Structure 1
């Protein structure tokens, strides 16, 4: 879910950063409003039936479920983030949640088929894949979220300091992502035996951890003003132009220094 939130906040940012044509009226203030909508309010996750998502790759969900259960993971629920559905109605999807046998890893599997005018432009120039089949694993230890996913290159917004995210290639098989995360959490606990991971004993425990991660991300987005200079320059691959500087100030809600002269 941590990576899911990052990607949902990213799409229009990437289009803007790469200098592509924005929808009419979509300036810095509008981008900030969209980012605030994604990160600035509690998200509601509700149980759903896969039958309500005819465009979802259900074979992917079922294959991942079979592989995870063979590794001792327990299926928890299929859920929809109705808050994100309201913000991105054309990109509606659901997440399949699991916990491992030790109850210290929560896993989510989801299929995203990004759509919309801006996303279509990104896909035409091969800057964003047409389909994302994601496996994401998270563990929460002493206020830190250890996250492993197969989203290298597509979740370019920086996570908050509380999240230690490792991004593997999109083509990484489910069980390789699992093995990598299990190795990371084992190494962390070996190095810090005094730290105890949060235990996921129920559906509510999983939702509570997701909510805490979202609070950390929302706090970080507010701290950087929605979008940081480093993020925008990294996406551009160069220092910002005067026009881009003005756009960033608008996103961050900062005054134009020349206006006071």
Structure 2
């Protein structure tokens, strides 16, 4: 769910960073408060029934389950991140969780259907698809999170150094995402046999690992002040203007430089 956290923090950042029409009340302080809510507190995840999500692409979830179980992965649970649902009530979704037969990989599949003013702006300039069907695989090795997903071009906030994220194209088949991650974890274990991956057996194991990853991401967001200069300039494609510098200071809660 590491990429899930990154994308949830991304939506408002991109709209504002690109200089689009800013929704009322979405200044730098409000954006920082939203980022702090996404990254700054433990997330509450609970078991749910897919029937509670009538707008979800249940066919995608079922295809993902069939693909994973065909590769000897085991379905663990369907969960909702209630913290995210409170922040983005128009964008509720659920995450289907799996673990591999060896207990070294936790996997998730989820459907995002962005709605609301800001996401409409993102879609207007084709920065975010109307429907995003994500497959994500994670292995945890001594504080490092190896992540493979099909989110190339959409999760544009930089992950923390502890997260080694490889983003494949959106249209990558589930089987190819799984194969790539399994190759990555095999390469890492062979190169460092002394570094044993964390074992996943139960839902509690999976959620505990996700919570540790969230702490790492929250610490990184605090370190960069919510948004880094590099992230904003990369989104803008140029150096920041004076107005954008002021906005960045507001997000990062920094005082203006003395003249």
TM-score band by shorter chain is over 0.9
Q: Deviations over 1:42-101 (max 9, x none)?
A: 001000000000000000000010010000000000000000000000000000000000
Question: Could you tell me how far 1:126 is from its partner in structure 2?
Answer: 1.4
> Using the alignment, how far apart are the partners of 1:203 and 1:12 within structure 2?
31
Hey, what does 2:236 align to over in structure 1?
Answer: 236
Hey, what does 1:66 align to over in structure 2?
Answer: 66
> Using the alignment, how far apart are the partners of 1:53 and 1:77 within structure 2?
15
Question: Could you tell me how far 1:257 is from its partner in structure 2?
Answer: 1.7
SS at match of 1:157: coil
> Using the alignment, how far apart are the partners of 2:245 and 2:124 within structure 1?
27
Hey, what does 2:159 align to over in structure 1?
Answer: 159
User: Within 5 A, what are the aligned runs for 1:91-102?
Assistant: 91-102=91-102
Normalising by structure 2, report the TM-score: 0.99
Root mean square deviation, CA, Å? 0.7
Question: Number of aligned pairs?
Answer: 259
Question: Could you tell me how far 1:221 is from its partner in structure 2?
Answer: 0.3
Question: Could you tell me how far 1:118 is from its partner in structure 2?
Answer: 1.3
> Using the alignment, how far apart are the partners of 1:125 and 1:232 within structure 2?
17
Hey, what does 1:122 align to over in structure 2?
Answer: 122
> Using the alignment, how far apart are the partners of 1:142 and 1:162 within structure 2?
10
Question: Could you tell me how far 1:176 is from its partner in structure 2?
Answer: 0.3
SS at match of 2:15: helix
Question: Could you tell me how far 1:228 is from its partner in structure 2?
Answer: 0.3
> Using the alignment, how far apart are the partners of 1:111 and 1:207 within structure 2?
19
Structure 1: where are the runs of 5+ without partners? none
Hey, what does 1:80 align to over in structure 2?
Answer: 80
SS at match of 2:157: coil
Normalising by structure 1, report the TM-score: 0.98
User: Within 5 A, what are the aligned runs for 1:156-195?
Assistant: 156-195=156-195
User: Within 5 A, what are the aligned runs for 1:105-144?
Assistant: 105-144=105-144
Please state if 1:203 is matched with 2:203.
yes
> Using the alignment, how far apart are the partners of 2:250 and 2:95 within structure 1?
34
Question: Could you tell me how far 1:164 is from its partner in structure 2?
Answer: 0.2
> Using the alignment, how far apart are the partners of 2:146 and 2:161 within structure 1?
11
SS at match of 1:257: coil
User: Within 5 A, what are the aligned runs for 1:240-259?
Assistant: 240-258=240-258
Question: Could you tell me how far 1:142 is from its partner in structure 2?
Answer: 1.0
SS at match of 2:128: coil
Hey, what does 1:216 align to over in structure 2?
Answer: 216
> Using the alignment, how far apart are the partners of 1:236 and 1:160 within structure 2?
21
Question: Could you tell me how far 1:125 is from its partner in structure 2?
Answer: 2.1
Question: Could you tell me how far 1:25 is from its partner in structure 2?
Answer: 2.0
Q: Deviations over 1:85-139 (max 9, x none)?
A: 0000000000000000000000000000001111112112212100000000000
SS at match of 1:188: helix
SS at match of 2:137: strand
User: Within 5 A, what are the aligned runs for 1:6-85?
Assistant: 6-85=6-85
SS at match of 2:11: helix
